[in-house]
């Protein structure tokens, strides 16, 4: 699938703000009215729409579907870029036979950005990595709201870090690069030299800086699975916000979704989400079930075939996140990827370059990231600069460190290639969907006007119809085989409706009925997440 994105004027220079992203998704519906339905699920407290694109042909609600979700973290602008980029590339290829056939049998629900309030901080006068929405919160539990925000002490428009020379400090400079700070290890005889804190001032004089800033509740920290109670950013309880309620309600009403792809910090695709028996010893599973590990690996294998980036760093889940909710509580196959990570840095072989770099013995990722960025000509670091700070009178205080957003979002010039690779992955994943078929149909006339109908119901896809985690989840439909008889016909043997507990990848189930009477008999088999197959039989 070779597809080119054409951007609107002014959109190709960098990541999109809310207005630009909205313009792009509206343009997709306008250009593809037969294929696309755009809907706003709700408006956030910040006045921004939560958009969803429904893409496909025909009876979309009964075609197997993939949900693609971007912007679960507000600081992860790439996630939104990949989600909307996927939709654009998919639709740009809609006239090719392969994509046309896919859209005729598969539905895609694309959420470009579910954290639009937080994402706007990237475009604000003062930039910092924000995950929370516009809901006012009392994170330090002092009865006041948003009274201790960040301050831009060096007036560079960025919120970075403060390092304060202090005998009680726990941080020291890294031996390979003094710009990088690491925790001192007392067991190795190391002593700290610096206190490290975020750039700002202790406005409320409680001994903490910037602990109660602007908003709010984090989408990717406020879902129902493993909810992190009493944690800043999570809220008083799960799913309290307009945006996460709207997204979850919409998904629960879409019974045809078999898989969810999340663009977020967790990575289950570069390294497959594996079964771990110890995580399922209790009453509530904390890890994927054994029978679900194979389909998870299938998704991971497809990803590694289409994505050129290698050596992905460990990227675990966090409490209350969306990717775990999609598996444990929504009951679908859930795949998550950050979409990009800095390539592994290798010191050049020539002598001059070897001398330039001190040995990074502990393979510190910050040291390697800074070296990679400098090699690529990317400005990602604010050099430490001395300032006077009212909270640290008489001490040596410096402001600096990595610029916000740079570790999670690649240079924008890389985004189109990344969007193309991830579009190919999602298309390949969708092609492996569970898919119903009826084969080996046979009718036999017997005595006394009775006929025997035999057939085989088959899942010809590579995913099971129902994930193992969903077998006790009433929101995932079982495979139903139904016989419709006309007036004057009677089912002598066999059930009018049969519910199958599952159809694994490639699994078949032979079924048989004895029916008395003449005329047409209607057979219907399937489930929304694997499609519905209908046929008529003349007796």
Query: Contact, 159 vs 122, CB < 8 A?
Result: no
Q: Is the pLDDT of residue 472 over 90?
A: no
The token duo for 297 is: 């690996």
Mean predicted lDDT score pLDDT of the chain: 92
What is the sign of the dihedral through the CA atoms of 213, 123, 197 and 163? negative
Q: Which residues pair with 480 in a beta bridge?
A: 499, 526
Q: Residue 398 pLDDT > 70, yes or no?
A: yes
Calculate what percentage of the chain has a pLDDT beyond 90. Answer: 84
**Residue among 520, 515, 513, 521 at smallest CA distance from 490:** 515
Q: How far apart are CA 526 and CA 59, in angstroms?
A: 14
Whether 25 and 51 have beta carbons less than 8 Å apart is answered as yes
Give the mean pLDDT of 256-279: 95
Region 111-124 average pLDDT? 97
Instruction: Report whether CATH 2.60.40.10 matches the domain 436-538.
Output: yes
Of the candidates 218, 505, 458, 500, the one whose C-alpha atom is nearest the C-alpha of residue 333 is 505
DSSP symbol at 413: G
Structural domain boundaries in the chain: 18-122+218-342+410-431, 138-214+356-402, 436-538
Q: What pLDDT score was predicted for residue 171? A: 98
For 212, which DSSP code?
Answer: B
Decide if pLDDT at 418 tops 80.
yes
- Please state which of the ranges 135-139, 150-154, 216-220, 384-388 shows the lowest mean pLDDT: 135-139
Q: For residue 413, what pLDDT is reported?
A: 96
Q: Residue 139: which pLDDT band, with cuts at 50, 70 and 90?
A: low
pLDDT tens for each residue of 484-508:
999 899 999 999 999 999 999 999 9
What are the C-alpha distances in Å from 257 to residues 67, 217, 280, 334, 434? Answer: 7, 27, 25, 11, 11
Query: What is the dotted CATH code of the domain comprising 18-122+218-342+410-431?
Result: 3.40.630.10
Label residue 328 by pLDDT band (50, 70, 90): very high
Tell me the three state secondary structure of residue 383: strand
Torsion sign (Cα): 466, 472, 477, 482: positive
> H or E element: which one contains 262?
strand 257-263
pLDDT score, position 5:
37
Could you read off the pLDDT of 336-366 as tens digits, one per residue?
Answer: 999 999 999 988 777 666 678 889 999 999 9
Q: Are 464 and 290 in contact (CB under 8 A)?
A: no
pLDDT in tens, 33-74: 999 999 999 999 999 999 999 999 999 999 999 999 999 999
pTM metric for this prediction: 0.93
- Per DSSP bridges, beta strands 508-516 and 490-493 are antiparallel
**DSSP helix/strand/coil, 132:** strand
Q: Which residues pair with 450 in a beta bridge?
A: 516
Does residue 390 carry a pLDDT above 50?
yes
Place of tokens 């009826």: 438
Q: How far apart are the first and last CA of the chain?
A: 46
Cβ-contact 531, 435 below 8 angstroms: yes
């Amino acid at each position: 699938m070779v597809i080119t994105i054409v951007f609107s004027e002014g959109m190709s220079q960098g990541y999109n703000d809310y207005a630009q992203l909205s313009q792009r998704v509206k343009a997709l519906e306008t250009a593809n009215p037969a294929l696309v339905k755009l809907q706003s699920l709700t408006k956030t407290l910040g006045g921004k729409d939560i958009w969803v694109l429904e893409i496909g042909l025909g009876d979309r609600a009964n075609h197997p579907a993939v949900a693609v979700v971007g912007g679960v973290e507000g600081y992860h602008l790439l996630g939104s870029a990949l989600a909307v980029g996927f939709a654009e590339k998919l639709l740009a290829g809609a006239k090719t036979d392969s994509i046309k056939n896919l859209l005729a049998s598969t539905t895609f629900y694309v959420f470009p950005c579910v954290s639009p309030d937080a994402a706007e901080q990237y475009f604000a006068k003062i930039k910092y990595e924000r995950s929370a929405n516009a809901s006012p919160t009392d994170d330090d539990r002092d009865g006041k709201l948003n009274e201790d925000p960040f301050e831009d002490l060096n007036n560079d428009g960025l919120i970075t870090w403060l390092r304060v020379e202090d005998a009680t400090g726990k941080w020291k400079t890294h031996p390979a690069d003094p710009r990088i700070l690491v925790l001192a290890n007392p067991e190795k005889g190391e002593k700290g030299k610096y206190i490290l804190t975020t750039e700002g001032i202790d406005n409320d004089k409680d001994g903490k800086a910037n602990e109660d800033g602007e908003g709010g509740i984090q989408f990717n920290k406020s879902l129902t699975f493993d909810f992190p109670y009493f944690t800043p950013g999570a809220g008083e309880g799960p799913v309290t916000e307009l945006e996460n309620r709207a997204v979850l309600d919409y998904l629960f009403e879409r019974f045809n979704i078999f898989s969810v792809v999340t663009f977020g910090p967790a990575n289950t695709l570069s390294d497959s989400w594996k079964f771990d028996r110890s995580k399922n010893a209790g009453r509530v599973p904390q890890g994927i079930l054994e029978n679900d590990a194979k389909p998870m690996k299938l998704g991971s294998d497809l990803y590694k075939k289409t994505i050129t980036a290698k050596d992905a760093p460990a990227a675990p889940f966090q409490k209350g996140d969306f990717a775990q909710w999609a598996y444990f509580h929504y009951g679908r196959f859930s795949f998550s990827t950050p979409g990009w990570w800095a390539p592994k840095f290798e010191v050049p072989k020539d002598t001059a370059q070897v001398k330039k770099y001190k040995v990074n013995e502990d393979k510190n990722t910050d040291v390697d990231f800074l070296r990679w960025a400098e090699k690529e000509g990317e400005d990602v670091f604010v050099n430490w600069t001395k300032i006077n700070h009212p909270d640290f009178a008489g001490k040596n205080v410096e402001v600096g460190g990595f610029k916000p957003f740079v570790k999670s979002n690649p240079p924008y010039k890389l985004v189109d290639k990344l969007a193309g690779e991830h579009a190919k992955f999602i298309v390949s994943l969708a092609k492996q969907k569970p898919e119903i078929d009826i084969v080996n149909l046979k009718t036999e006339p017997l005595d006394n006007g009775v006929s025997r109908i035999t057939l085989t119901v088959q899942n010809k896809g590579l995913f099971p119809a129902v994930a193992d985690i969903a077998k006790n989840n009433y929101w995932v439909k079982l495979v139903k085989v139904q016989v419709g008889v006309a007036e004057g016909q009677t089912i002598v043997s066999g059930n009018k409706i049969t519910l199958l507990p599952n159809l694994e990848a490639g699994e078949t189930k032979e079924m048989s009925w004895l029916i008395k009477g003449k005329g047409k008999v209607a057979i219907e088999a399937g489930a929304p997440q694997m499609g519905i197959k209908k046929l008529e039989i003349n007796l």
